[in-house]
Amino acid sequence: HFALTCHLAESLKAAERARVVNVASMGHWAGRIDMDNLQCEKSFNAVGQYCNTKLANILFARALAERVSHHGISSYSLHPGVIRSEFAQDEAGWFGHLFKLGRPFMSSPEKGAQTSLYLATAPGIESDSGSYFANKKRAMCSPAAKSQAKAEALWKESERLSGLSWG
């Protein structure tokens, strides 16, 4: 998300109004950003890392919103719902079984896209830039997702790792 958005910076700034929409998940509640193991070189857990990356998406959206409002750019993150997709279909263990069993109760991909489409197109939501959404409404996010210090640390490390910055 960071690198792609930085590569698009000039186009986003040139637009009269632009929006950056980051798909996260309510799985972010279990996320922990460990700056000493950000690249999972010391340890890796697939489910844990999924939650970590979703937390990172929310922190990125918040940090971006702080930097781009004066350019007429808005930034949002969202939970699309639990979607009937191929997610976790090849996952072994309890997590994969849970998703396979729950598949009939999951939302369609079309329903899952509704909040993303809303954030990309709804008029008058610019004042909610930096916010986290679910079901086309602002939603509560975890205390970790509200950490300005963590958002800034992750931003700085993203700049260092990618060699990019918000122009």
Backbone angles phi, psi at 86, to 5 degrees: -85, 0
Catalytic: 50? Answer: yes
Catalytic residue among 50, 76, 118, 132: 50
DSSP the chain: -HHHHHHTHHHHHHSSSEEEEEE--GGGGG----TTSTT-SS---HHHHHHHHHHHHHHHHHHHHHHHGGGTEEEEEEE--SB-SSTTTT--HHHHHHHHHHGGGSBPHHHHTHHHHHHHH-TT-GGGTT-EEETTEE----TGGG-HHHHHHHHHHHHHHHS----
Q: Which residues are catalytically annotated? A: 50
